[in-house]
Structure 1
């Protein structure tokens, strides 16, 4: 069955790119509502759909924009958390243009959602079942969707910095894998890129408190990586958040090679442009095991 959060969940922090303080609250929503953002600092047309066709392409994050030009950016981590915890419907009220970065991962979002819990709604889940291969190429990056029984994510990355180098990981995302394996992996960047972005007035809220910074073979954060392959795990986290903008759970295998937000969004647009590549499938209650977030219990993940 579809779900929503049981109670309001609140967060506060700064935007990674804007450096501005921001408050975000996740509210329950009825069945078939989906995920929407509401900019509470703006009057009038302030609702923004969390959907692939509302994305304005950006190399640094995922930005959503409505028809009035009202936007909210860096939505990928909260979207991954909602999907990974099995939340299908919610209203996200935010008083600024960017979701708070918190510690650079989705762990704080997940912890709060698990603490409040979810509520089942009287409506079945409609999933997007991939029926045939869809593939996009963006320079050295590529992304592909192929048929699979449940959501699988396969990501490869390659960086000149030997602290990261080549990493590859494949996971099935059903039954809480996101919470166990991915949600605490932080965003990362190269020192040279940080300096260039901040000189250009970007990444103003970035620090070693909310990102892993690498410089050649060295990790600048005193605590180092949380996982040896934290970089590829975070890319998988981002991919899940961007795939969540399909508007419903995906049953299929995502394969990304050096892919980022823009490539994944182009892949979703290519999927929905081909009516033979997918179908909307109504899931029976017994098929809930196929979805991320099924069977999660907050006490099991008290280590977060």
Structure 2
């Protein structure tokens, strides 16, 4: 009987390499994803750091800054930022174990979505491992609130997500997406949605020495009620789809797929990490389970 990736850990078959520019530093970085043994999780390695421990295993506690992106650090304070789009691809494609080598302080932004990372992983191929996959099952609701923003995890027999955003700009407005987080849906509805920002914010970030690599090549840029990108949007509700993409990556720092429903309203990286920490601080709200999902037998 073939092993389905629905209930065994997975890694990739062969290493795969991609290069691009970091959105904040504007520096060119090279990234290599390599296979890893079962039970080792996702580990990032800063290959440009050689005077101290350069391995940063991903965990909820490893996230040190989530204002503009998701940044992780290790005990030696070696940092790496903008991991969320690759983490989102790992989560959706069921990659439990991998080593990601990066020769700079942030991952390449590529086109601002998870599309190139999915293509990279597809090139690498997937291999089931003998260890059964552990899931994080949500047993009771966990909520976090920050001003008018909120995010929650609730019990559910599968991984579902509802994301809602609300912007004054007519280019965005109020957008909602509600879906089952699985590989097929991620590929069709989520992975190509690009990050977005407002022209005045991008300018302010540049003044602060950030967003040096940001451009219309890797983000949807809005000025007032207008979208500045010549090609416009890739899909309807691209903005909220990207927020969902981010949330999938932000929650995968937990190290296992969820059996639960995530609901976010205006939720970004900082709130998602707050939710992750709140969950970890509430042991009664979750448990680790190993299970074979009740896959539909028909068809």
Establish whether residue 15 from structure 1 lines up as the match of residue 39 from structure 2.
no
Q: Distance in 1 between matches of 2:253 and 2:131?
A: 20
TM-score (norm 2): 0.94
Establish whether residue 38 from structure 1 lines up as the match of residue 30 from structure 2.
no
What is the Cα deviation at residue 177 of structure 1? Answer: 1.2
RMSD: 1.2
Pairing partner for 1:27 from 34, 39, 53: 34
TM-score (norm 1): 0.93
Q: Distance in 2 between matches of 1:50 and 1:151?
A: 21
Further displaced range: 50-59 or 119-128: 50-59
Q: Distance in 2 between matches of 1:289 and 1:258?
A: 33
- CA 1:80 to 1:175, structure 2 compared with 1: closer, same or farther past 3 Å? closer
The aligned counterpart of 2:96 is: 88
Number of residue pairs the alignment of both structures matches: 288
- CA 1:289 to 1:25, structure 2 compared with 1: closer, same or farther past 3 Å? farther
Query: Unpaired runs of 5+ in structure 2?
Result: 1-7
What is the Cα deviation at residue 183 of structure 1? Answer: 0.3
What is the Cα deviation at residue 175 of structure 1? Answer: 4.3
Q: Distance in 2 between matches of 1:244 and 1:197?
A: 27
Establish whether residue 176 from structure 1 lines up as the match of residue 153 from structure 2.
no
Q: Distance in 1 between matches of 2:115 and 2:18?
A: 12
Pairing partner for 1:259 from 267, 280, 291: 267
What is the Cα deviation at residue 140 of structure 1? Answer: 1.7
Q: Distance in 2 between matches of 1:137 and 1:182?
A: 25
Ranges of 4+ aligned residues in structure 1 off by more than 3 Å: none
The aligned counterpart of 1:293 is: none
What is the Cα deviation at residue 289 of structure 1? Answer: 5.2
Q: What secondary structure is seen at the aligned counterpart in 1 of 2:249?
A: helix
Q: How does 1:17-166 map to 2 (within 5 A)?
A: 17-43=24-50, 44-166=52-174
